[in-house]
Amino acid sequence: MSQTRMDVRQDNVEAYRQTMPGSDVSIERFTALVPPDGYYYVLKAGSVEGRFRSLRQAQTKYKELLDSSRYNPVARNGGKTDPAQEAIERYMDQLDAYWTDSHKHTRRGGKTMYRS
């Protein structure tokens, strides 16, 4: 039994979902709401508004639907941010990323690796 090109691709593809909180518009691929055929589907209130092969095309339709629905994003904390807290969170994220990837940068070789 031969596999088609699309079958081979979908074996190692994860589900994709893009949506804005409070809106009923979303882009989905390999989720429970759309067929597992590898296409990106643009949904509005659960109904399919478009089916696209590329994410870029789906995002164009997605933005068009968001604009037509007059969606206004709601600020999570009323627009008030604490710069000191943001700096601390950014530092902790960078520190976490550094230690997560530090094993990739270990020196390999032996005693004589860098001798001439």
Structural domain of 18: 5-68
Is residue 105, in this structure, part of any structural domain at all? no
Closest CA to 53 of 65, 37, 66: 37
7 contact partners, CB below 8 Å, separation of at least 6: none
Q: 60: which 2 tokens?
A: 């164009």
pLDDT (tens place) for every residue of the chain, 116 residues total: 445 555 545 566 789 999 988 889 999 999 999 999 999 999 999 999 999 999 999 999 999 999 998 888 776 666 677 889 999 999 999 988 888 877 776 666 667 766 76
- How many domains does the chain fold into? 1
Is residue 28, in this structure, part of any structural domain at all? yes
Q: 84: which 2 tokens?
A: 């000191």
Please give the model's pTM, rounded to 2 decimal places. Answer: 0.56
Torsion of Cα atoms, 41 then 42 then 48 then 52, to 10°: -50
Identify the pLDDT of residue 7: 52
Residue labelled with tokens 């001798």: 115
Closest CA to 52 of 28, 70, 85, 72: 28
Is residue 93, in this structure, part of any structural domain at all? no
Identify the pLDDT of residue 1: 47
Identify the pLDDT of residue 6: 52
Identify the pLDDT of residue 102: 74
18 has which bridge partners? 27
Identify the pLDDT of residue 14: 87
Phi/psi-derived region of residue 80, left when phi > 0, alpha when psi is between -120 and 50, beta in every other case: beta
